Structure 1
């Protein structure tokens, strides 16, 4: 499935953000993840759990059911499942069939997020979750806040592509957080087995409209803009603005932020999109909650409109790539290798007696 090979959609063996931690409480929280309904809630001891959101009896949504202690009771026929997915009660009979179970997913709370492993639970290695230090969450004095959780009508990779190519900032977001130098400045890339990093260091460049308005700056500044993509769906962004060489306070940091985008496949053509921000400027973060709503709306608009075209065209022409596509292409190739490996492991498992 575009932009991957036929039959490829998204890696399953990886940690995705299922929710912000503050979304999970006593009530049942429903969310689709990789074409599966999932239900999350907190047990009485405060532990967050995630289980399959489909009753195996008549496929009734368990997210539309109710809590009974630490268990979920199906709202259709009363069949009850505990937090580990085991069926504990069938109202119409005393004997509980052994096949009556639902899946329980590995769920790890770290930072602002609850991370889910939708693939083979035996491969759920918590060390693959990006550390809080890696993503800039533990910077001294940083104030981090969850902003928005959106359901976007576009396939997961479209949002990954958006975040892997920040040359769009000066055009899609030219009235707010970008300038044309975001495209004109070459990237500095770095790749490891866990993430792809991209940086643009812009010297003596115009400030973004947002920085100009906040700090009343009319002259040139030095900017650093970048993103780190932790496979398969978490993007940690960096933004720094300093006074440039020649200024009487050259090198002084005047604006600093970290942003975190979590991109989690929902259904085949929809995506769960979580955005959060952090800075040492607490008031600045709070002020950006409203300011960034139209900015994120622009990204989602681009995603939705591309999805409409991709789904509608009978014959999708090949993309005409540019130099600025290098990071996005690299990210696509890494995700494709992850999916190819999963497919090969599944093939070998089927062929093993």
Structure 2
């Protein structure tokens, strides 16, 4: 499944649809065109297609050639996202979409919001690797959401055919700057940081901060956030990247949008810079792996199994 933040203004009858983004006339991008009722009209020559992809209007002639049509794709809206199946429609399977409960979307008292979209000039696996290895938080994001304990604390991992789960539980840990911004408590803290990777490109994160064990208020929850990173290829070396977040306090989401903007841009910077280097190489040198790469390795292997299985079906 490919995915996107769900369109708050879908077609006129309230149903969101996904259609091919290229006009068959001169290949003008339909994403840069206009919607007319339930149809999309190419902004170049006015050729119009309905929600099923059939051509309904050609301004320069009465007869519509039978070949004039664009593809329509299965689409399902879940939570903040629209999930699009760009392959064989007969193989579309809604059960592959992560359950909203599994990703922490419907936790009582939490408010969810889509915050960012970026078209990233780097292949999607680079962003997957970034989110599968949170040891980078203390270095790439050292001034905001991470500390060195994000790398020094061992991971607890679980994996099955669809999800890879990772948690770091940090006791009496260093305080990242984001904690000082979000709470007045200035004593010792415990942190839980983790990510659930719903293969092949959806990451559901947890970030909880509690008063540390041994303190008079031990275990008191100081802040609790859920974050979601939706990563889907735009091209061979480009990515559509969607970020959303949930918090108990809706006002905190307003502040988080400003606070986290440079954090997300740091991840994008790392992705783009790596892409610049590897795109110059005829053959990639072998990576020198570290202990902290365990979760990323599991993620890569899972994706490779999926690609191999798909190749066998289509081969």
**Shared fold (TM-score greater than 0.5)?**
yes
Unaligned runs of 5+ in 2: none
Distance apart, 1:282 and its partner CA: 2.3
Paired residues of 1:16 and 1:115 also in contact (CA < 8 A): yes
Paired residues of 2:38 and 2:51 also in contact (CA < 8 A): yes
Which has the larger displacement, 218-227 or 270-279?
A: 218-227
Partner of 2:183: 215
- 1:43-77 CA-partner distances (Å, limit 9, x unpaired): 21121111001122332222233333312233344
Partner of 1:330: 298
Partner of 1:98: 66
Partner of 1:61: 29
Q: 2:79 aligns with which of 93, 97, 111?
A: 111
Q: How far apart in 2 are the matches of 1:66 and 1:175?
A: 42
Q: How far apart in 2 are the matches of 1:19 and 1:219?
A: 38
| Residues 1:130 and 2:98 aligned together | yes
1:41-190 equivalence runs, <5 A: 42-190=10-158
Q: How far apart in 2 are the matches of 1:290 and 1:213?
A: 12
- 1:204-223 CA-partner distances (Å, limit 9, x unpaired): 21222210343244432111
Q: 1:311 aligns with which of 273, 279, 285?
A: 279
Which is bigger in relative contact order (C-alpha 8 A, separation at least 6)? 1
Q: How far apart in 2 are the matches of 1:324 and 1:227?
A: 14
Paired residues of 2:182 and 2:223 also in contact (CA < 8 A): no
Unaligned runs of 5+ in 1: 1-14, 26-41, 348-353
- 1:213-260 CA-partner distances (Å, limit 9, x unpaired): 432444321111000011111100001111122111111111111001
1:265-276 equivalence runs, <5 A: 265-276=233-244
Which has the larger displacement, 86-95 or 320-329?
A: 86-95
Classify the secondary structure of the residue corresponding to 2:307: helix
| Residues 1:18 and 2:4 aligned together | yes
Q: 1:299 aligns with which of 255, 267, 292?
A: 267
Q: How far apart in 1 are the matches of 2:310 and 2:67?
A: 26
- 1:103-136 CA-partner distances (Å, limit 9, x unpaired): 1011111111111111221111112111111111
| Residues 1:321 and 2:289 aligned together | yes
Which has the larger displacement, 217-226 or 66-75?
A: 66-75
Partner of 1:233: 201
Classify the secondary structure of the residue corresponding to 1:289: helix
Give the number of equivalent residue pairs.
315
Classify the secondary structure of the residue corresponding to 2:17: strand
| Residues 1:288 and 2:275 aligned together | no
Counterparts in 2 of 1:77 and 1:287: CA distance versus 1, 3 Å: closer
Partner of 1:255: 223
Q: How far apart in 1 are the matches of 2:33 and 2:223?
A: 47
